[in-house]
Structure 1
């Protein structure tokens, strides 16, 4: 059964394996990884993890883990700012070999509950235009597509999730 954990150096090797699956230059949503982060060396990885921990008042970062294997990442941005308008309150990514198991739907549900616990009333979730799997994931958690946006957002679909009662979804369920 999967669970969400805070980023940890203990799983550095398996995180690097997940990172390698995306390939070079591909953005991995949910990990808080910036182009300036150097994660291949132990010191660089530790510095990146420390930056994420320092940012915890503004963003909750979690890894999706099962049997000590990093399967993906998810982040909840607590504030509404320019980054949120572009990338959403919640961003997530599942490593290619772990997709189509319901992990993203489950993890998104967990972070929606986290947002509710923080007193947030609704959250914005953004996915790449045409990414039907991600769109279905967001819709399963109550996301309603918002077609309002400027031309700079033409390559993205925006969904609002209004936070109501908690929902429990189990990986693999629809």
Structure 2
């Protein structure tokens, strides 16, 4: 949990806020926020309200400076040290006449997950869409992967989303 001092304290419904205690996000909470609204701003509002344990009205009253601090803290929960993960394919593929021997995944952003989840489809279809976005390849290319390469891609994605194993969590400097 990160204790985030607010640069601009405020009061909502008689409760004064000079800091927020911001918890780590679970996959379940993220999914619930995605289901609760199709609007990205609304999803963020819902999620941050849950993670800070405060009413949505309190998040709505945040100064933009403090909101950016919350956003950086949340991003820090999902970001490890590296920006890209390079992986050679055990079984290269050919798509549209071009051979693909490796797929470099970049670090995922919240908007990537939101984009992959926008259209209906199975979990596997949404995963394919996400891996295509992160790898800069077509969904058709992801669909052509040998299953062992697809699972390796999934493992690489999961490594990006694992929390760092450092010491005490603190909010990034504003």
Q: Radius of gyration: which is bigger?
A: 2
Higher helix share: 2
Q: Comparing both chains, which one has the higher relative contact order based on Cα–Cα distances under 8 Å and sequence gaps of 6 or more?
A: 2
TM-score range, shorter chain: under 0.3
Q: TM-score, normalised by structure 2?
A: 0.28
